[in-house]
Amino acid sequence: MPLEHEGLTGDIIAAGIEVHKKLGSGFIESIYEKALWNELRKRGSTMVELVDIEVCYDGFKVGEWQIP
């Protein structure tokens, strides 16, 4: 039985492997994130980049967080 998002998952993993092959290790996360977005676009994927959301605790804003 195939998984619901098997093709998409394979594309994401392949793009991540390609980014790692080209950049290697040692960069900060944001570098890999931007490279991965670019690699996925090259492969024809359309996606929404990170969106800022407010994080509240007990009714008070305690920060912001980015979600895909």
The pLDDT tens digits for 4-51 are 878 888 999 999 999 999 999 999 998 998 999 899 999 998 876 678
Domain boundaries, the chain: 6-67
The answer to whether 40 and 12 are in contact (CB under 8 A) is yes
Cβ pair 17, 37 in contact under 8 A = no
**What is the reported pLDDT for 48?**
67
